[in-house]
Amino acid sequence: MKFKLVALVLVICLFANLSVAVFAVNIVETFGILKYEYPEFIQKIKTGGATEADLASFLTDLQTDMNKTTVTKENFNRTLGTSLKSVITYRTHRPVMNALLTSFSKEIAQFMETQVIPDALLPLYTTMKSAIFDEKPPKQALVYKYELVLADSANFKLNYSQAAIDYMNNALNQAKLVLNNKDATKLEIEQAIALFDTQITAFATMKSFGGQIIFDDLGDVPWAIDAIKTLVAKHVVDGMGDYKFAPNNLVTREQFVKLLVAAFTSVDANAQCTFSDVKPGAWYYPYIATAQKIGLTKGFDDGTFGVSQTITRQDMTVLLNRASQYFKMTLPQKKEAITFVDAEQVSEYAKDAILAMQTAGIVNGMGDNKFAPQSSATRAMAAKMIYELYSILKEEK
């Protein structure tokens, strides 16, 4: 074993003397390239008793040790050799050292006779050299993005919409195909990287907002941005695809009831709906049935719910007020009561609800001291109002 250790050190020294002109190299990313381009090398290390984590840890410490010196193309070989000799003797890296001695004993013996590094020990050097000189399309960037996203995939699946998950899975699958193909063209690599770059650009600030999708059409509704982000993160509301939320789209009555149920309770599978225009099997049936059962919606006098009709601002306010009563919320008195100039347009059944929601700071006017009770509500308005009421319930819990 002592003889083999000496031979291993000599191999490392020879690595340090090979002619390589480079400015720097990210050895941690090199592990990723080894993993996908030279799986047989990784397997031999594992057969020798070391794990991928052991090898990754070894390469990380190797890079850290090299970074103690300003690495240039003039001192790279010497720095690499010095760091290899230092790090391989760390007690924590004994599994890697033993794996090299165990799995490559014949190759080490061969080196002692020929002073030529055997092919089996060349993957690390070859990978570094190809990345440095671009002798084959470099894969460091793709490896880095792939490993980064893969490591966070569990969190991604918990916090993101299904559309975003599908997009990410597509990027991962395309990257894996390229990484496993030693003959991948530069174009194929660039296309795989582009998928990740598009995703990373689109979702760059997700985590700072709790995992929600970032939309690019919220510039006109700055007052609703926080509400939209929060509700998307909690899977209460979804985007419209292609990074659009469509904040100014109008909300139908069934859509708003779904949002209300999703935000404050859960669907009651046993609930029955009696509205004549709400048919079993429709996507909105369980939401409206649940809302009717707990008294959030009562429909119209003719026995209909009003499917496909846009919801008015006053009706949205009434439903929010009923939700606050059903969940026994204590509404704060944040604002003085306002007498809107269009108060005569408010239906009698909605007056108390508007007063309660307005003084609690959940709904506001539309400018010019108007409430616009008969105007249709937008997606941004709905998100904002539900968010404000949800915040009160959250504080009480």
Q: Is the Cβ–Cβ distance between 247 and 218 less than 8 Å?
A: yes
Was domain 140-204 assigned CATH 1.10.357? no
Has residue 152 got a pLDDT over 70?
A: no
241 phi and psi, to 5 degrees? 95, 155
Percent of the chain residues topping a pLDDT of 90: 28
The tokens describing 24, both together, are 């720097």
Cβ burial, residue 267 (10 Å; 0-12/13-18/19+): middle
pLDDT given at position 42: 85
Count of residues making up the chain: 397
How far is residue 252's CA from residue 162's CA, in Å, rounded to a whole number? 23
Coil, strand, or helix at residue 378? strand
pLDDT given at position 375: 94
How far is residue 128's CA from residue 24's CA, in Å, rounded to a whole number? 10
**pLDDT tens digits, residue range 122-142?**
777 666 656 555 555 456 666
How far is residue 336's CA from residue 346's CA, in Å, rounded to a whole number? 19
The tokens describing 340, both together, are 């809107």
- State pTM to two decimals: 0.49
- Give the residue extent of every domain in the chain: 2-133, 140-204, 222-396
Has residue 243 got a pLDDT over 80?
A: no
pLDDT given at position 206: 41
**pLDDT tens digits, residue range 172-221?**
777 777 777 777 777 777 777 776 666 554 454 343 344 445 577 788 88
How far is residue 197's CA from residue 203's CA, in Å, rounded to a whole number? 10
pLDDT given at position 266: 86
